[in-house]
Amino acid sequence: MNIRQLSVHEKPPMELLLVADPSPKIVESYLKSGRFFVAEKNDQLIGVYVLLPTRPQTIEIVNIAVDEPYQGKGVGKYLLQHAITAAQTMGYTTIEIGTGNSSIGQLALYQKCGFRIVGVDMNFFLKHYEEDMIENGIRCTDMIRLSQDI
Ligand code: COA
């Protein structure tokens, strides 16, 4: 597997980005200033993550997705570790990520990768998403914010 940053001339993989974030409006909001990284295996796209500078010294992973057949095999963890190293190399001192209160697996994965819960953006998904989202039998209503110093 090879991970590389997309050049400005390459199209971001919209289909995969929308797997992680079903809101086209939110995905579009970081198309211009996000830095897109893709994981490829035998010239096939298997994963993506997006880094977005949000404040001085702070960058956020605003999207991370692994193509379904490749999920659960360590690719997501590898992408997160790659994102942390890329952010460090770019000189950032804090990296952030957010996920839904119902995304149990993602919350486990992010904490395994060193992120700590720092807050809750109450009602985020009720405000920004039209459709109800249920995961693990839990209604997705709030965004759990996680952060780590790097
Ligand atoms: N409890 C404890 N640990 C859990 C868990 C749970 N319920 N669910 C998952 N995990 C852990 C696994 O055990 C594994 O950790 P380990 O390596 O220590 O065993 C880790 O989480 C999963 O790692 P990995 O195989 O690298 O994940 P992945 O390649 O499937 O990538 C996603 C993770 C989330 C990027 C991927 O599943 C995906 O694209 N999902 C759809 C899009 C999405 O939800 N994106 C994130 C939006 S916030």
Task: Express each pLDDT in 25-78 by its tens digit.
Answer: 999 999 999 999 999 999 999 999 999 999 999 999 999 999 999 999 999 999
Q: Output the residue whose Cα is nearest ligand 1's atom 27.
A: 76
Question: What's the gap in Å between 77 CA and the centre of ligand 1?
Answer: 7
- The CATH H-level superfamily of 2-149 is Gcn5-related N-acetyltransferase (GNAT) (3.40.630.30)
Q: What is the pLDDT of residue 44?
A: 96
Give the nearest ligand 1 atom to 66 CA. 39
Average pLDDT over residues 82-93: 98
Q: Establish how many alpha carbons lie within 13 A of residue 111's alpha carbon, considering only the half-sphere containing its beta carbon.
A: 11
Two structure tokens written together for 76: 């997501």
Q: What is the pLDDT of residue 132?
A: 94
Q: What is the pLDDT of residue 110?
A: 98
Q: What is the pLDDT of residue 81?
A: 98
Question: What's the gap in Å between 106 CA and the centre of ligand 1?
Answer: 5
CA distance 95 to 86: 10
